[in-house]
Structure 1
């Protein structure tokens, strides 16, 4: 897919699993299990799909997945299914080295979105992409450093603090234009100051949905994760995004959908729903 000067593709870094009830909040299991069947202990499969934007002089990565170097207990709890170095291995298939990445946009700092931002080298955590500038909202960074008891388990300091310590972290305050085609949109329902990535030109718009719409199954308004800190705000944010997505025919890109990479949306008398799903970006 081409948007402006950017060639857009995505990177699959494996899968993991979370509790289905937590992923769908108040929606009962007989409804969500139709599209996301759970395993024997109620976990559903989730993808770890990242976006890659390439121009003549930039290679931009959106989120970094779980990354490697997790212990056996972690891998067992979250049913991690990936290579030890999933991100670097996937990039190498595209003939891209870690040194070539110029920018990394982090939607937020939960472990499944920033786990691959650092790597363990001789017992020390270092930025995975030594020449890249990493972007995150300052309010999200401060929250990640001092989270609540409710969401403390979602943050691992070694997965993002080395970026700050090595002066590679750019802290943003609100909506931000990385350039003419890339806009970062701030939402606050899931966690404070999550940023969605909108890539647009005069003809096409793609929105990297992160955890506002983690999967295509989360398009209907009531389908809100129990993980969200402010679920009522999530609902309003979903409505605002979906109105624009329908009006301007946006493609919504899903980080965690195990089956579909992206979709367009529509509205009927029953509410918002998927119009067309895409397994590839063309």
Structure 2
């Protein structure tokens, strides 16, 4: 189905910074600094971008951003700024509240993707940001997040997702592999970045979109060797990225980049030397 009544909107939860060397792995700084200039602390600019999908009968959000669970020291380290706690202001621009969200799809449970699951209530206690939503995550990532390796333990904060242990927690649905969650919204597991991450494929108004999360965090990560130092299985990332890019170019998918500070969406092309390049899509809202 073409889903002519479906609208997708890119929302900015916050901006932050991560070490450029970690974000580009083996790529030398003189190369990645051309497109992603670092600050004095070697951090590149990053967006915590979420995706809103509005259907006539359903409101869906993909990922929840950084959230509020950071100390002042951590906020300085990660240069967290321009933050919309709980995406309340971003949603209000579309006449929505967090309470109106029906579905929350989590690509994975790293803190910059799942940190926004909780926000402070009026009394200061942390409460579920989306109390009326079903929450979806791959079972494999849920398991890994509770027992990560020493290498990636710092990326998972149990305080972000232990809300599901409470008796009054919103529903949590664990997904096993490839699945169509509802008509025209499909999840595709990938394992190079972390085990059980999922790319979300969306059909809207005759166009296919792919929210690629940390498989391709920015438009600068399209080429094969541009793989994050954070990835647990970098060669697997290269393989998975090639497969997504093959479909994106052949079938005219629009990719949505979760962390690119300037390019939210792009089609894929190749330049005269056969290198994959982005063709940015200007608008952040598509119907």
Report the TM-score when normalising by structure 1: 0.94
Aligned position for 1:155: 156
Aligned position for 2:262: 259
- The structural deviation recorded for 1:4 is 4.0
Aligned position for 2:54: 54
Superposition pairs of residues 17-166 of structure 1, within 5 angstroms: 17-83=17-83, 85=85, 87-121=87-121, 122=123, 124-165=125-166, 166=169
Provide the aligned C-alpha RMSD in A. Answer: 1.7
Deviations 1:31-78 (A, max 9, x none): 100110000111000011111001111100000000124220110010
Taking a change above 3 Å as real, the CA distance of residues 193 and 125 of structure 1, as seen in their structure-2 partners, is: same
Q: Does structure 2 conserve the Cα–Cα contact (< 8 Å) formed by 1:3 and 1:205? A: no
Larger deviation, residues 233-242 vs 5-14: 5-14
Aligned position for 2:211: 208
| Counterpart-to-counterpart distance in 2, 1:94 and 1:203 | 22
SS in 2 for 1:178: strand
Taking a change above 3 Å as real, the CA distance of residues 17 and 275 of structure 1, as seen in their structure-2 partners, is: closer
How many equivalent residue pairs? 281
- Unaligned stretches of 5+ residues in structure 1: none
SS in 2 for 1:160: helix
- The structural deviation recorded for 1:177 is 0.2
- Unaligned stretches of 5+ residues in structure 2: none
- The structural deviation recorded for 1:89 is 2.3
Aligned position for 1:230: 233
Taking a change above 3 Å as real, the CA distance of residues 89 and 25 of structure 1, as seen in their structure-2 partners, is: same
Taking a change above 3 Å as real, the CA distance of residues 279 and 13 of structure 1, as seen in their structure-2 partners, is: farther
- The structural deviation recorded for 1:19 is 0.2
Deviations 1:173-205 (A, max 9, x none): 101101221110100000001011101258311
| Counterpart-to-counterpart distance in 1, 2:275 and 2:63 | 27
| Counterpart-to-counterpart distance in 2, 1:83 and 1:220 | 30
| Counterpart-to-counterpart distance in 1, 2:27 and 2:273 | 16
Report the TM-score when normalising by structure 2: 0.93
